[in-house]
Structure formats: C-alpha cells, structure tokens
Chain A
Amino acid sequence: MTRKGLDGGSFKVLTEESISKVHRTAMQVIEEVGFEVQSDTALELFAGAGAIVDREKHLVRLNESKVKELVDVAPSEIRLCGQDEAHDVILGGRRVYAGTGGTALYVYNPTANQTRLASMEDLRCIAGLVDKLDNIHLFMLPTYPNELPVEQVDVNRFFAGLDNTTKHVMGGVYTLEGVKNVIRMAEIVAGSAQALRQRPLISMIACIISPLRIDKTYGDLLVTIARNGIPVACPAEPLCGATSPVTLAGNLVVQTVDSLMGVMLTQITNPGTPVILGSVATSTDLRNLRYLAGSIEMGLLNAAGAQMAQFYQLPFYATGGMTDSKTLDAQSGYESALTALLCALSGANFIHDAAGLMEFAMTVCYEKYVIDNEMLGMVMRAVDGIKVDDDTLAFDLIKQVGPGGNFVAARHTRRFMRGEHYQPTLSDRDSREDWEAGGRKTTWERAAEKVKELLANRRYSLPDATRQQVFAEIEDIVD
C-alpha cells in the first residue's frame, strides 16, 4: 500500500495570529520597499498590470489589494501528470507528496567512501531507480551532466527523465532555447501540444533571487514558461543571516514576498497558469555562512512556508529530507527524517529534495534514494495519523476478548493490520541472531543490495516510435 496525497496539517508551527503578522509584514515590504525586477519584459508586465514601477531603478511596488487580486487568479490546485496516470499528483490544499531534487554535481559511492562527478548515465539510472521506489512520488532531475556543453543540458536532462520513468518529471532550466526545446520534446511525448497542456508530463523551476529580486535571465525564463502554459515553481531561497534576516520570522517574510512576486508575474503573463509557490529557505552555518541542507531550522521554515501557502490558497513546493553529512551515517538519517517530517506534518504539497541528497545539496547517493524511500514511507504513515471511529476504537472486540485474552487471531486484526501499520522494506527488525547470520548488514549495505537489484531490472523506456520522433525533431540528444 502506497500512501500519497494524504492530508497533512496536524503540525502547526505558526498560530493564526503569526500567519497574519507574516502576511501583513510581507505586504508592507511589497508596498513600501518594493521589489527589483531586472527583466525588462517582466517589468513591463508588472507595469501593465497596474503596479507602481520605477523603470530607472527597476523597482516594482504593489499595494495589498493588487497583490490579492493577482494571487487570486492563480489556481489553488494543480495536477502534475506522469506518463502513467497512476503517478499523477494533485498539489494544493494540505495534500502531501514527496520527490527528488537537484541539481547535484557529485555522486557519492558509500562502498568506496568517495564522490565522483555526475554524468548523463547517472540521470538515467536514478530516474530508473526512482521509478521503482513507491514512496518517491515525483521525479525531479537530480544531477547536472558535467560532460555536456550548457546548450545541450536542458533537453538531455529532461529526455533522461522522460525516457526512464513514468513519474512526473520536474526540473530546473538553464537557457531560453533549452526551455523551448524541452517543451517541444514533451509535446512529442504527450502526443500533441494540446495533450501536454491537458496532461503536463513536465514542469519547470525558475528561481527568484532573495532578497527581493527577479534576475534578468530568470525573469525571462519565468515569463517564457508561463506563456507556454507549462506548470512552474518559482521558489525563493532566503538564507538566514546571508540573504534574509537571521531570524526565522524575518526569513519567512522574505521567502513569502519573493515567491509571491514570482507567482504574480506568471499570472500577469498568462492568467491561470499553473504555478507553485516555493521555498528553499534555510539557515546557514554561522562560522562560514555555508548553506545548510539538514538544519532543524530548515524544517521549521518550510513547515511554516506550507502554512503560508495554505493561507494564500496556493500549491506549495517545500524543501526537506536532505542532510549535510558526507556519508550514510546517523546524522544523514536524523536530518533527513526530521526535516521531511516537519514539512509533511504541516501539509507541504510537494516536498522536494526529499530523497538522495546530501552534503549541502551538492551530492546524491543511489543508496540514499532507497533509504529515503523507507524514511518517506514512515513519514507518510505519520501524515496518515490515527483514525478514530467505532471500528478502530474496537469496543466490541475488546469486550469479546476480555481480560487476559489476545488479539492475534481476531478477524479485526487481519482486517486492519496492513492499513494501520507501515511495513518496512529496508529497516532491520530481525533478532540479533538472524541479523548476525545475515552478515551483520547496516542500513546502507542493505540499500546497496537493493540498488543493484532494482537497476538490474531496469527499465522503462519511451515507446520506440516516440523515441525516434524525438531524435528526429530535437537536436543534440545523446542516447
């Protein structure tokens, strides 16, 4: 039984009053401080939509009612589709899904305890691996193919995704030309331009540059993606003490303003475009301002971000489930689990980066995908919560069994045991004797075996005719 899309929200790090204070401060920033927009196209779009624009300073200001009007145009729910319909996800409300994230430079091999540069083949293999890991619901392109020139990176990354998994493929993009080619390729895979708009098999990410800035390239990219009606996340990545105030509340204000600006830009460009409010907010190591991927504050910030998204009724892209550890050790486990759990319990719609990533988001590890798949299974079970009704309270059964009896043979047990209790696929629950007899394997050693097994049974591949058409029409694809 795979759990996904269940309602979170049992954990609320912000009170209603805190939410409205963050909102009011965010509105004050947008109105009084303003927002820098380096892309002229984007700047004119804001001007046309009634924002107060200072063209010399590239500064945009909006009042609260204008913000509300623009944000309200954005859909509160969006469907991201897989090539296999069973993998469709609907982001919005408090529904929770988890997926991979990127864009790592290195791959860690725990057997050799070493890292190496990531390549195209890693993208294909990880896509194939994630295709088989049930608790990873979406596939975000995880690595950067170091061997390719930048003009070829976008199409090849997305092709590796579409050609190896039937889950939805999301990814960051690097060039305008790349964006157009990726969309064209996805249209071929979907069957037609219209089919892709009806069932978006891909989605993209264009970052807002905290604090309070939309860069030229990314502004243009965001507008292009929105014009094409492709779902897009516009996350901001404020870092406490570096690109946001050091306080978590201050970070949350910057995060809210920045991502909302992206959302508004997409809605001005193309009203109703599927857009996702996003957060990659985190803290930094105060000794060197290094970005932290596994801090508990990151969990709190993204949990709070989910509440803000619910307040604005926008789908949410959160960040959680990573670690800063260099190996698959205890730190790797607790950081990944804690941050993912906080996001999930607060109802973050798409927790990205939730599998495979370590070391300040610089490195991925095959074995960690398998480990995180287990962790996410447990997290999703926690989201499921405790169902309380007459059947689960089981008064009749308790009465029937009575003092000193047992429940092993009860039909009630068989009826509920699978649904109520998460069944691990990796964790060790053996007796010490059995564990010793089995070779005293640690979590990552068991994960390594599983990686081998799953990769050996690879893999999904696009239908032959589709592949041929892609090769014929899209340049530079390496196979």
Chain B
Amino acid sequence: MPEDIIGLIRENVIQGRITKDDEGMDEGMVGKPGVTELVEQALASDLPIQDIVTKGLSGGMEVVGQKFEAGEYFIPDMLASAEAVGVAMEILQPRLARSGIKTKGTIIVATVKDDLHDIGKNIVSILLRGAGYAVKDLGHNIDTQVIVDAVREERPQFLGLSALLTSTMARMADVIQILEENGLRDQVKIIVGGAPVSEEFAKSIGADGYGADGFQAVAVVEALASGTEN
C-alpha cells in the first residue's frame, strides 16, 4: 500500500515543517520529509493537484486555524504553517494555471509614509497568506507614490494600508485620492487598519473596509472578495 502522501502533506502543514530539516511541533520530526519534499513526491507520483491543494494544504491550514482558535497555537505556529503553504504553492504555481485552479487573488500591503510601525501589518500579511492570498508586502514608511505605482503595475485585487500614528493616518486618504486621480481607484479594493484607525475613519476616507485585527482583516477581504460587503 503506497504511503498517504496527501495525508502527510496535511500533517506537515499542521506541524509547520517546510523541509526535512525543520523541527516542527512534535518531538523527533527532524529528518522526515517536510512539505517541500512531500509536494515534490506527490507531483512525481502524479497525484491530482486539486487534492494536494485542497486536501493537503488547505486541509492542514483548516486544522491550524482550529488549533489557533482553541488557544493551542500561537502566531509563530501559524506563521510556520502559512510559510509551508506558501512554499508549496510556489512549487505548484506553474501547474496550477494549466489545471485551471483559481487562486484567491493578490493583495499589496504597506505601512504609510513616516510610519515605522510594522508588526501589525506583518501579522495581517501572515494571516492573509495563511488564508491563501498572494501577499506582496511593500514594507513600512512607504511613499504614497510608491504605493500608487505598485497598484498600477501589479494590478492587485486588494490594497491593505496600515498606520499607527494619528499624524500618519491622513496618508491613507492621500493614497486613495491619488489612486482616484490616476483612475486606478476602481480596480482595487482598499482596506485599512492600525491602532488609531476606526470604522468611521475608514468610511470617511472612502476605504472599502476596515479591520480591527488580523482576523478581521481576513474576514473583510473574504467578504469583499465574495461581494457580501456593502
């Protein structure tokens, strides 16, 4: 009987093991194949891509989400699993297009100009990656123009802006205004967040969504993606 490779992929996503050298959560994992090796094995054995993605990767992430909810997993655990999924997706990317499986879309995230707070934005990125989005993180203290250019060039479905200072919140409005002036506003859904940002503020600057924390960020993006927001 052949080894259950898909099951092992799922298990190793839960363990957050990218390669065979990763330690994972449980004892004695080092040396056993990780997600990278397993995905390659699966491809070599001609297993259906659909199964690798949904049963293996997404299936694993689902359990990770449950463990997180239960307080058993912390953010660094989540990060390890999301990273493992990210690496697997990269390996699968060339074949995904061919097999017609749709990806969830791209989101660009950035902390606005003059703001150096990036921990919150990084968490939002991690959780979005874990939820299956392709995230492009521009970094912190990012010029309004750089953000606008990135939207023009990358044509992402979503843009996430972060600001932690009262003095930098207004930059979010600047980004939206310049996107509008450049006729780019309609092609991207914009979500905003950060300690001083509120639902009302988000509305007042014409953003499409607001998230008080990383989980809400994911929920808002999912809602916008399925069109249930508004």
Contact = CB atoms under 8 A, between A and B. Distances in A.
B166 A288 contact: no
Contacts of B71: 287
A239 B119 contact: yes
A241 B77 CA distance: 12
Contacts of B196: 105
B76 interface: yes
Given A286-B75, A287-B74, A105 B119 contact: no
B83 interface: no
Contact of B167 (A174, A243, A287): A174
Contacts of B195: 105, 362
Most buried by A among B71, B116, B166, B214: B166
B214 to A, nearest CB: 7
Given A105-B196, A287-B75, A209 B116 contact: yes
Contacts of B167: 150, 153, 174
Contacts of A243: 119
Contacts of A455: none
Contacts of A144: 166
B196 to A, nearest CB: 5
A476 to B, nearest CB: 15
Interface in B90-137: 114, 116, 119-120, 123
Contact of B75 (A105, A150, A288, A362): A288
A92 B120 CA distance: 35
A239 B120 CA distance: 12
A250 to B, nearest CB: 14
Interface string A244-288: 001000000000000000000000000000000000000000111
B214 A217 contact: no
A286 B76 contact: yes
Contact of B74 (A146, A217, A286, A291): A286
Interface in B167-184: 167
Nearest to B119: A242
B213 interface: yes
Nearest to A287: B74
Contacts of B76: 241, 246, 286
A288 B213 contact: yes
Interface string B54-77: 000000000000001001001110
Given A286-B74, A286-B76, A289-B75, A217 B114 contact: yes
Contacts of A215: 116, 141
B216 to A, nearest CB: 11
B127 to A, nearest CB: 10
B151 to A, nearest CB: 25
A81 to B, nearest CB: 29
Contacts of A246: 76
A4 to B, nearest CB: 33
Interface string B141-170: 100000000000000000000000011000
A288 B74 CA distance: 7
Nearest to B75: A289
B142 to A, nearest CB: 14
A8 to B, nearest CB: 32
The 10 A-B residue pairs with the shortest CB-CB distance in the complex, in nearest-first order: A286-B74, A150-B167, A242-B119, A289-B75, A144-B166, A105-B196, A289-B123, A215-B116, A209-B116, A174-B167
8 contacts: A105-B166, A105-B195, A150-B167, A209-B116, A242-B119, A246-B76, A288-B213, A288-B214
Interface of A: 105, 144, 146, 150, 153, 174, 209, 215, 217, 239, 241-243, 246, 286-289, 291, 362
